[in-house]
Amino acid sequence: MQLVKKHIPIAIAFVMGVLMFLQFYIPTRASNDFLQNVTQWDRIISGFALLLGIYSLLNHHYHKLRRKVEGWGFSVVIYVGFFAMLIAGLAWGIINPPPTPVLNSAGAVTGQVEVYLPFMWMYDYVLLPMQATMFSILAFYIASAAYRAFRARNKEATVLLITAIIVMLGRVPLGAFMITYHPFGGADPLLPWFTEWILNNPSMAAQRGIMIGIGLGVISTSLRIIFGIERTYMGGGD
């Protein structure tokens, strides 16, 4: 059992890790063919991962429903939504026929005739507005959170506060109307110019530091996986 659950996955990770590493630095025809094969296999496996994800989601909510845990009503919504979209897609298809333009006597387009399939109707009139609503609610919470928490409590918080105000004004037309002075005789008024300077200098320097840190972390984790030190991907936390 150890062989199947532990040694073979570690050996596969080692061999594939080393081969993919070498492939990157040896751009021959054979290595390109190898890469093409591997990507095709990986994409097929990704498709199965999607199925696994669906099974996992439905299974999780099935147990919530069976045990009637708090909020089980939302699990009903998951099941109804999932099967409504699935049945609509399988029964009537998932792509609307192309719309046809409506022309007036002068030949100008005045509208369009679009035939909706049930799947696309649900996409356009249920999924799309719901997801857009979820995201737009952020604006309300950001305003409320900023009012409550964005305080100049110390020097660092004050710098953050001032920078945020400059960037918020510089990123909208209002900023350009407020101060019309153009620094260094450039094309941009002060606030948009200063916003670009902040984004291109202090902000970018911080971002670059974060990116280098992430890059080093990715390299070290990859090496740990290739050499079998990191094994959490096999499950069980070992």
Partner 1 sequence: MEEKTNWMDKITKLDRRWIFIMVAVAVIVPIILGKTFPVNISPSVQSSYDYINNLPPNSTVMIVCDYDPASEAELYPMTLALFRHCFDKGLRVFSFTLWPNGAALIEKAFNTMKMEYATNPMYPNGLQSGVNYVNLGYGVGGALVIIAAGQDMGTAFSMDYRGNSTGSMPIMEGVSTLSDINYVIDLAAGSTIDWWVAYGVQRYHFVLGAGVTAVSATQYYPYLQTGQINGLIGGLKGAAEYEQLAGHPDRALAGMTAQSSVHALIIVLVVISNIFYFLTRKKGR
Interface with partner 1 by CB under 8 A: which residues?
A: 32, 35-36, 39-40, 42-43, 46-47, 50, 95-96, 98-99, 101, 103, 107-109, 112, 114, 120, 123-124, 127-132, 134-136, 139-140, 142-144, 146-148, 150-152, 161, 165, 168-169, 171-174, 176-177, 187-189, 192, 196, 199-200, 203-204, 207-208, 211
> Shortest gap between Cβ of 175 and partner 1 (angstroms)?
8
Q: Which is closer to partner 1, CB of 1 or CB of 24?
A: 24
Pair 75, 95: CB distance under 8 Å: no
Q: What is the distance, to the nearest Å, from the Cα of residue 133 to the centroid of all Cα atoms in its chain? A: 17
Q: Which is closer to partner 1, CB of 56 or CB of 136?
A: 136
Residue 119: Cβ within 10 Å count: 21
> Shortest gap between Cβ of 40 and partner 1 (angstroms)?
7
> Shortest gap between Cβ of 1 and partner 1 (angstroms)?
31
Pair 35, 23: CB distance under 8 Å: yes
CA distance 222 to 204: 26
Q: Which is closer to partner 1, CB of 1 or CB of 187?
A: 187
- Please name the amino acid found at residue 235: G
* Burial environment of residue 147 by CB neighbours within 10 A (0 to 12, 13 to 18, 19 or more): exposed
Q: Which is closer to partner 1, CB of 173 or CB of 236?
A: 173
Q: Which is closer to partner 1, CB of 64 or CB of 169?
A: 169
CA distance 102 to 110: 6
Alpha helices in the chain (DSSP H): 2, 8-25, 29-67, 72-92, 118-122, 128-149, 155-170, 173-178, 190-200, 202-226
> Shortest gap between Cβ of 121 and partner 1 (angstroms)?
11
Q: Which is closer to partner 1, CB of 39 or CB of 59?
A: 39
CA distance 100 to 145: 47
> Shortest gap between Cβ of 3 and partner 1 (angstroms)?
29
> Shortest gap between Cβ of 158 and partner 1 (angstroms)?
9
